[in-house]
Amino acid sequence: MKELVVATRNEGKLLEVLDILKDLPVKVSALKDMGQLIDLEESGKTFEENAAIKARAVGGVTGKLTLADDSGLIVDVLKGRPGVYSARYAPTSEERNEKVLKELQGVPFKKRTARFVCVMVVYNPITKEVKTAEGVVEGYITDRPKGKGGFGYDPIFYSPELGKTFGEASAEEKNRVSHRARALGKVRGYLRYLLQNEKS
């Protein structure tokens, strides 16, 4: 069976990728399975740049087909923050959520529009080919965290499609509408093609 390395140390992201790609004929490995120290410095100015940096770094070291993503929360009234700095907006998930909520104090719900953006990159180290896809899910920022599920900003992101926050949603519900699921959906065909190609 072919192998796909997921270039992340985020357990929540890895579990989502595993669930969304569970029907593909591929063994999914994480960085923790590789036994190698690989620098995943996110020095890009866009989600696409960061995802490509990670995919090329991991694919270059392992020599294996690599999937990487960079994602984040964009809040309109905050002029796009936290954006590409979503994972570094504060030291912990709880503190990041608290910071966003504090910055939105006094802002009415209808003006708390936001979206999760995910850019997914597939890197083939044999051909050096890069495939990129973007997934977006629209929503609102709540006035307080709701739900214990998911990870990151999920407890403060309300999805009109689900009628609840991502933190309140089950993994199955979230993976039906999430930005990561939508981005992965766009690269599934390409992944399947590479997995069936002897040179990949």
Asked, as a colleague might, if the bond just before 82 is cis with ω within 30 of 0, I would say yes
pTM of the complete model beyond 0.95: no
Strand 2-6 relative to strand 157-159: parallel, antiparallel, unpaired?
A: unpaired
Q: What are 93-105's pLDDT values in tens digits?
A: 999 999 999 999 9
Is residue 70 flagged as an active site residue?
yes
Q: What are the residue ranges of helices labelled H in 37-178?
A: 47-62, 93-103, 171-177
Q: Are 59 and 36 spatial neighbours (Cβ–Cβ below 8 Å)?
A: no
The domains of the chain, with CATH numbers, are 2-196 (3.90.950.10)
In sequence order, what are the residues at sequence separation of 6 or more whose Cβ sits closer than 8 angstroms to the Cβ of residue 89? Answer: 81, 82, 96, 99, 100
Per-residue model confidence (pLDDT) at position 178: 95
Q: What are the residue ranges of helices labelled H in 39-198?
A: 47-62, 93-103, 171-177, 179-196
Whether residue 199 is predicted with pLDDT greater than 90 in this model: the reply is no
Residue 108 binned pLDDT confidence (cut-offs 50, 70, 90):
very high
* pLDDT averaged over every residue in the chain: 91
Q: Which of 30-44, 117-131, 157-171, 177-191 has the lowest mean pLDDT?
A: 30-44
Q: What are 40-65's pLDDT values in tens digits?
A: 777 889 999 999 999 999 999 889 99
Q: Of the residues 19, 23, 39, 70, which is catalytic? A: 70
**77 vs 60 pLDDT, higher one:** 77
Strand 129-141 relative to strand 157-159: parallel, antiparallel, unpaired?
A: antiparallel
Whether residue 11 is predicted with pLDDT greater than 90 in this model: the reply is no
Residue 200 binned pLDDT confidence (cut-offs 50, 70, 90):
very low
- In this structure, what token pair is assigned to residue 81? 């923050």
Q: Are 32 and 10 spatial neighbours (Cβ–Cβ below 8 Å)?
A: no
Q: What phi and psi values does residue 18 have, to the nearest 5 degrees?
A: -60, -45
Per-residue model confidence (pLDDT) at position 36: 59
Collapsing DSSP to helix, strand or coil, 140 comes out as: strand
